[in-house]
Amino acid sequence: MPLAYFNDLASITNGLTAIKIDNLPITELIIDSRNKITTPYPLFFAIVGINHNGHDYIEEAYKKGIRQFVVDHSYNLAITEHYSDVNMLWVTNTLEALQQFVAFYRSKYVLCVLGITGSNGKTIVKEWMHEFLSTKYKTLGSPYSYNSQVGVPLAVSLLRTTHEYAIFESGISKVGEMEKLAKIIQPTHGLFTNIGPAHSKGFQDQQQKVEEKAQLFKDCDTIYYCRDHQLIHETLQRLYGRSKRLRTWSRHSYDTDYFLMRYELPDSNKVSLQISTLRKKATFLTHFRDIASIENIVHCLAYLLDNGFKEEQIQPILLQLKPIAMRTTLKAGIHGCKIIDDSYTNDLTSTSVALDFMDQQQKLDQLNKTVIISDILQSQTVDKILYQELATLLAMHKVNRLIGIGPVISYHASLFCEQQSIFFHTTEAFLQHKPSFKDEIILVKGARTFQLERVVQAIEKNTHGTILETDLGALRDNLTWFRTKLHERTKIMAMVKASAYGSGSDDFELVSTLQRHGIDYLGVAYMDEGIRLRQQGITLPIMVMSPTSDGFNAMVAYQLEPVIYSLELLQELCSFLTEKSSIPIHIKLETGMHRLGIEEALIDPFITHLRTVYPHVASIFSHLVGSESKADDAYTLSQAERFIRMANAIESKLGNKPLRHLLNTNGILRFPQFQFDMVRLGIGLYGVGISKEIQHDLTPVSKLVTTISQIKYLKKGDSIGYNRKTIATQDMTIATIPIGYADGFSRVFGCERGHVVVHGKYCPVVGNVCMDMAMIDVSGIKAQRGDEVIIFGKEYSIDELAKRIGTISYELLTQISQRVKRVYHN
């Protein structure tokens, strides 16, 4: 069954048929020419995105056999002369045409469609709901993150007559977007997960954001939400209280349809959720314990109960739900140890996953492996068999030392004979006798009741209250996103100079993650950085941008590849290499930066010399000076032109074809036509330093947090800090935080130029920033000693913080000093 025919498309979108061979059927929609074509009559929409212009890929799509196109009429009309055997439609805006077409397509179907929106949890609620609904109905769920202006129409175009139910999520970043998505999804039921600070930039305030999201429900008959979110409750009541069925759940208010009570079950790793209505009570068990997951689960439960699902249909699925990504945290420990903190669940499956993770880490560091594990509180399996399986698992992973905590594991001590082992009946006993640790990688894994987080605290290196957290999952996601912006064959060099833009430390988690995820090359500034990476077991090719001639010896020994940026440097390298083994080199061309590089005027003598002495050139490259700014676009083009000219000249005289590379992060985003053989990805990998429009596609990898050391109450007229730079103009509450300019928290932030975030609110920095401390204004916020203070992170942009003091995120990141503790989330 086709989605429609070409003539329908023309009339729905009001387009102008530029060329037509026939009124062909349309069997699928394609917007990315690299996608696999699975049906006979695909239609290509040339969408103009920030990173790609679909019109540049028409030729490629044609070569793959696509014969139907929707193009923007203002783009190069010559396209039409090129092809004669295609259907081509001109429209004024291809994205709008896509949306109109799919809205029309959707309206042909009568079925139950659940539309989900909210700040957090929409993807997981959608995935879980899909699992529940699929037990009863043939259900379509939007693919993983198809929730944008382009993603939603693509998801909806997958509807077929066989579907009985559909679930679509929608995400927006500014006013006016939801109305368009609502027309495409046409939900019959709506679900509003919650509201948080994410993606706030496109909105005046929270109120506006909630109202905008609520537009999704304009034509629904029933809306589900948690009435404890006050703003959501008020807004939906006001907009739809009269016209629609509002179905709510609550933890606090009895004025609700579904009332939730949560119980901890002693001696079990599950939580009990009791959901009552006026007439009935239903009780469910779940393994999830964190507040966010429980909320997501109860959204599902309320919806399912309201739609005729029975307790016994829900419960088995509920126990099988999986989180989207398992999270373990890697921390620095005392005496050269590393800790894998997984101290809140304990069952054999997750232990096995954690042991795999430990293996990956251990390979890099060659540390001894220690496992600290509590009793496994799992009732189904007989104890003896359970602990036998655990022993086998530990032996398989060649664990060197086991520390068992709990009466049951202690009782089974004799089963663990493959490794050195010691047992404690309680966590207290462990803390009293604290065994010593040195140069080990330690996995801490335990059931919640054992509070093994206290064990972690005891062995964690804890010098300073400020932490730089690195989200390795976000790093992987960012890398994947950039891959989708590049041709399949384009290689990626990850720029990890300055300890990976400040995120890395001597542990090199970040670089080893990149190595595991198929990066082709690494780029560092200095030889020493390369040597450290090699010593940590990094095997990728490494390009060193500023080599010195006295280091060539070490570079050969560590297989580091120098950048050659002048004839002199080439000569020095050659004289050194005569009797030694050879190393690949990278030639840097001067195209406009006026920093390092071979100038065009000097290219001939350079080539002559190169040819006679040194044929092994791995790559030729140059660097753009203003890839992020439109004002410099003409200059960028001239740089690219010169680069191509010079690279051609070198290549024509060399025997081989070196890799060419020119683009940095913003170059990749704005000039994909110059990606050549490789790109050099820097700041974007860390999820920052990019334009606002694409910020929501990428996740900042680093979060800098500290905690409040002390609260002080000041009277009007009191002064704060050195030189009395801030005087309280009224009574105020301030907090002292343990971060100062020696940590990389610039002195320029002082005297209200910078701010930090406490309980979701911005607090200005008051007084001068000291070397190790700073003071912030927390008046009107219920802040306490020990509360978290965010300097920057996912929701609090480092780019904006940098802007406040006239610098860029690159500088703020790389200035975070090594004394700030690094923690890695996986």
Output 287 or 623, the one with its CB closest to ligand PLP.
623
With contacts defined by CB under 6 A, name the span among 18-26, 249-257, 652-660, 676-684 that binds ligand PLP.
Answer: 676-684
Rounded to whole angstroms, how far apart are CA atoms 170 and 152? 7
Q: Which of 129, 140, 143, 146 is nearest to 106 (CA)?
A: 140
Rounded to whole angstroms, how far apart are CA atoms 672 and 766? 44
- Rounded to the nearest whole angstrom, what is the least distance from the CB of residue 559 to ligand PLP in the complex? 20
DSSP 589: B
Rounded to whole angstroms, how far apart are CA atoms 617 and 568? 16
Output 138 or 803, the one with its CB closest to ligand PLP.
803
- Rounded to the nearest whole angstrom, what is the least distance from the CB of residue 586 to ligand PLP in the complex? 10
Output 401 or 680, the one with its CB closest to ligand PLP.
680
Angle, CA of 472, 473 and 474, to the nearest 5°:
90
Rounded to whole angstroms, how far apart are CA atoms 66 and 89? 14
- Rounded to the nearest whole angstrom, what is the least distance from the CB of residue 666 to ligand PLP in the complex? 6
Beta bridge pairs of residue 17: 89
Q: Which of 793, 286, 826 is nearest to 513 (CA)?
A: 826
Q: Which residue is nearest to ligand PLP (CB)?
A: 682
DSSP 445: E
- Rounded to the nearest whole angstrom, what is the least distance from the CB of residue 209 to ligand PLP in the complex? 31
Structure token digits, residue 826: 């996986």
Q: Does residue 623 interact with ligand PLP by CB under 6 A? A: yes
Output 496 or 531, the one with its CB closest to ligand PLP.
496
- Rounded to the nearest whole angstrom, what is the least distance from the CB of residue 593 to ligand PLP in the complex? 9
Contact 75, 27 (CB under 8 A): no
Output 476 or 623, the one with its CB closest to ligand PLP.
623
Structure token digits, residue 256: 């609700």
* Annotation says 614 is catalytic: no
Output 424 or 565, the one with its CB closest to ligand PLP.
565
DSSP 378: -
Structure token digits, residue 186: 């046409």
Rounded to whole angstroms, how far apart are CA atoms 152 and 30? 13
With contacts defined by CB under 6 A, name the span among 317-325, 533-541, 670-678, 679-687 that binds ligand PLP.
Answer: 679-687
Beta bridge pairs of residue 225: 192, 248
Rounded to whole angstroms, how far apart are CA atoms 132 and 321? 10
With contacts defined by CB under 6 A, name the span among 169-177, 678-686, 760-768, 794-802 that binds ligand PLP.
Answer: 678-686
Output 445 or 680, the one with its CB closest to ligand PLP.
680
- Rounded to the nearest whole angstrom, what is the least distance from the CB of residue 814 to ligand PLP in the complex? 10
Output 768 or 809, the one with its CB closest to ligand PLP.
809
Q: Are strands 112-117 and 165-169 parallel, antiparallel or unpaired?
A: parallel
Output 139 or 503, the one with its CB closest to ligand PLP.
503
Outline where 284-382 has alpha helix (H). Answer: 291-306, 311-320, 348-365
DSSP letters for 778-797 = -TTS---TT-EEEEE-SSS-
- Rounded to the nearest whole angstrom, what is the least distance from the CB of residue 523 to ligand PLP in the complex? 6
Q: Does residue 682 interact with ligand PLP by CB under 6 A? A: yes
Contact 466, 486 (CB under 8 A): no
Contact 128, 293 (CB under 8 A): no
- Rounded to the nearest whole angstrom, what is the least distance from the CB of residue 678 to ligand PLP in the complex? 11
Site for ligand PLP in 539-578 (CB under 6 A): 545
- Rounded to the nearest whole angstrom, what is the least distance from the CB of residue 664 to ligand PLP in the complex? 3
Binding mask 146-185 for ligand PLP (x = CB under 6 A): ----------------------------------------
- 291-306 vs 122-134: helix crossing angle, rounded to 10: 40
Q: Does residue 664 interact with ligand PLP by CB under 6 A? A: yes
Rounded to whole angstroms, how far apart are CA atoms 376 and 447? 7
Work out the number of other CB atoms within 10 angstroms of the CB of residue 50.
13
Considering 144, 263, 713, 722, which one is annotated as catalytic?
A: 722
With contacts defined by CB under 6 A, name the span among 85-93, 169-177, 292-300, 675-683 that binds ligand PLP.
Answer: 675-683
Binding mask 28-67 for ligand PLP (x = CB under 6 A): ----------------------------------------
Count residues contacting ligand PLP (CB under 6 A)? 10
Binding mask 250-289 for ligand PLP (x = CB under 6 A): ----------------------------------------
Output 70 or 493, the one with its CB closest to ligand PLP.
493
Q: Are strands 732-737 and 774-777 parallel, antiparallel or unpaired?
A: antiparallel
- Among the listed residues 233, 680, 821, 822, the single contact to ligand PLP using CB under 6 A: 680
- Rounded to the nearest whole angstrom, what is the least distance from the CB of residue 670 to ligand PLP in the complex? 12
CA atoms within 13 A on the CB side of 812: 30
The kind and range of the H/E element at 694 are helix 692-695
Output 213 or 586, the one with its CB closest to ligand PLP.
586
Q: Which of 398, 324, 328, 326 is nearest to 359 (CA)?
A: 398
Work out the number of other CB atoms within 10 angstroms of the CB of residue 269.
18
With contacts defined by CB under 6 A, name the span among 128-136, 274-282, 414-422, 674-682 that binds ligand PLP.
Answer: 674-682
Number of H helices, E strands in the chain: 28, 41
With contacts defined by CB under 6 A, name the span among 256-264, 284-292, 404-412, 682-690 that binds ligand PLP.
Answer: 682-690
- Using CA atoms, how far residue 741 sits from 322, 363, 806, in Å, is 43, 36, 16
Output 102 or 500, the one with its CB closest to ligand PLP.
500
Beta bridge pairs of residue 749: none
- Rounded to the nearest whole angstrom, what is the least distance from the CB of residue 641 to ligand PLP in the complex? 19
With contacts defined by CB under 6 A, name the span among 54-62, 188-196, 532-540, 681-689 that binds ligand PLP.
Answer: 681-689
List all residues 6 or more positions away from 486 whose beta carbon is below 8 Å from its beta carbon.
Answer: 492, 668, 672, 675, 679
Q: Does residue 670 interact with ligand PLP by CB under 6 A? A: no
* Annotation says 363 is catalytic: no
Considering 126, 445, 497, 703, which one is annotated as catalytic?
A: 497
- In a 3-state reduction of DSSP, which class is residue 647? helix
Give every strand in the sheet of 87-91, ordered side by side: 16-19, 87-91, 68-72, 42-45, 28-30
Q: Does residue 592 interact with ligand PLP by CB under 6 A? A: no
DSSP 120: S
Q: Which of 416, 400, 412, 406 is nearest to 445 (CA)?
A: 406
Output 189 or 623, the one with its CB closest to ligand PLP.
623
Rounded to whole angstroms, how far apart are CA atoms 413 and 421? 8
DSSP letters for 208-250 = HHHHHHHGGGTT-SEEEEETTSHHHHHHHHHHHTTTSEEEEEE
- Rounded to the nearest whole angstrom, what is the least distance from the CB of residue 816 to ligand PLP in the complex? 16
- Rounded to the nearest whole angstrom, what is the least distance from the CB of residue 601 to ligand PLP in the complex? 22
List residues near ligand PLP by CB under 6 A: 495, 545, 623, 664-665, 680-684
Enzyme catalytic residues: 497, 722
